[in-house]
Structure 1
Amino acid sequence: MVSPSASKPIESGDRFVLFVHASTDEWVWASAVAIAAELRRDLALRPRSRLLLSGGTTPAPVYQALAKAPLDWPRVDVALVDERWLLPDDPDSNARLVRTHLLHHHAAAARFEAMTQSGRRIEEAVAIANAHAQQPTAVAVLGMGDDGHTASLFPGMADLDRVLASRQSYAAVDATGCPGARNWHRRISLTPAGLAAAHARVLLIQGASKRRVFEQALADGDVKRWPVLAALGGGEVPPLQVHWCA
């Protein structure tokens, strides 16, 4: 356990706030506290709160810590930032990761929305995700790949222009040819419109290489080359909260 003073931002502005943590343990604790604080704030304002989570190995320990937070979890709807076109019990699905690492302890009482379902076409899955997205989102938890992707928005993706311009919160994407997508090319992803609708966005990254990627993205400014830039704040959109440790 670390003191709250260890989590003061070292860089901030209208587009992002960077928190640097001295250790992995501190990073896990502070990230979970930040997410819980956003949920607690939202639960004080409305009957239910919506939490969007990303997959990948990086956020798993944060989800495990968040599961122990004493929140009013029966009033929390947990959904996904993106999903591979896999059944929800597939070991490589984001749904399986969230169930394994978050939905226990206090968080077992939350309501979970898996995007995919046996017999459901991808067009149906996107329509249902967009219907659920009509509810206000308290916080979206994001990751970032070495290629600068976030959610399932990959640089060089064939239909990236369409997805970036979409007014819907979710879209089906084809990431064929994108190394960051690995073997899972067919996906559903939150769009920039969906990201902007979240009251708070929290980016969880670790390691010197990820920080360099984020800094390169900021310096370049091209969202097509660095889709993570779609998560930045500005205007009426609150700053992106970035939590990093070496």
Structure 2
Amino acid sequence: MAISELQLPANVTAHAFDSAPQLATGLANDVARRLEAVIASKGEATLVVSGGRSPVAFFEALARQPLAWSKVLVTLADERWVPVEHADSNAGLLKRHLLTGNAAKARFLNLYRSAANLEAAALDADQALAELPGIDALVLGMGDDGHTASLFPNSPDLKEGLNPLGTRRCLPMLAPTVPHQRLSMTRALLATAGFTALSVQGPGKLATLRAALAGADLAEMPIRAFLHDPLDIYWCP
């Protein structure tokens, strides 16, 4: 099965690649061009990315792009509630694979906050995100369960997290696996992005995408909330 076989909504554009390295390079090129154009018009640009192991090749390809990195603000769509030194920290992942070389000049807004509990950390991160000057480019991933960012099915705050009219920018979220405590941007904030890309690889993720397109229950598969907005899907087998 290929992505061309899916019945995609009119607002969704598919970009198919033959391999993971080609996808990483193609996505990095497109994101860099978006950021370049915004910097040319506004003087600065904001990039929001997702963590996990899948986007590492994309991060490394993007770090090699000859951007005016000192004019770019980078932050995360979601974060595990662990310090940057922790092996599971998405911020640590970015520092190793994206914020290197010339790209180290970018400003980084860390979602992680040291606080008494997860809710307090989320409130602190929410206030920090109030200073975000908009989202110019957003790169999302998708789990086999249909989650994106850390908007997981059955998480206690999911309804608020998926509310397009919600006032929160960041919420505490619980993942079904350890480490289960997360901080996640909400749909209300993520949906403001000028350009949104969804990066998926392999037949398993394509099957998940097909299932998401076939239903309407956002709580069952939160990625469905983003299939109704302008979206560019980057896929390889």
Please give the TM-score of this superposition, normalised by the length of structure 1.
0.86
2:66 to 70, 75, 79: 70
- How far apart are 1:184 and its partner, in Å? 2.3
- How far apart are 1:233 and its partner, in Å? 4.5
- Name the counterpart of 1:147: 145
- How far apart are 1:187 and its partner, in Å? 1.6
Change (3 A) 1:100 1:207: same
Q: Deviations over 1:65-123 (max 9, x none)?
A: 00010111100000110111111222211100111110112211111111124457414
- Name the counterpart of 1:160: 158
Residue pair 1:53, 1:98 contacting (<8 A) in 2 also: no
Q: Secondary structure at the match of 2:208?
A: helix
- Name the counterpart of 1:4: none
1:109 to 105, 123, 128: 105
- How far apart are 1:188 and its partner, in Å? 1.3
Change (3 A) 1:233 1:45: farther
2:198 to 200, 203, 213: 203
Distance in 1 (alpha carbons) for counterparts of 2:61 and 2:83: 26
Paired residue type of 1:244: W
* More off after superposition, 161-170 vs 16-25: 161-170
Identity, % of aligned pairs?
Answer: 35
Which residues of structure 1 form unaligned runs of 5+? 1-8
Change (3 A) 1:66 1:47: same
- How far apart are 1:202 and its partner, in Å? 0.9
Q: Does 1:131 align with 2:92?
A: no
Residue pair 1:170, 1:188 contacting (<8 A) in 2 also: no
Residue pair 1:82, 1:189 contacting (<8 A) in 2 also: yes
- Name the counterpart of 1:23: 19
Residue pair 1:169, 1:195 contacting (<8 A) in 2 also: no
Provide the alpha-carbon RMSD of the alignment. 2.0
Distance in 2 (alpha carbons) for counterparts of 1:90 and 1:184: 11
Residue pair 1:14, 1:233 contacting (<8 A) in 2 also: no
* More off after superposition, 85-94 vs 163-172: 163-172
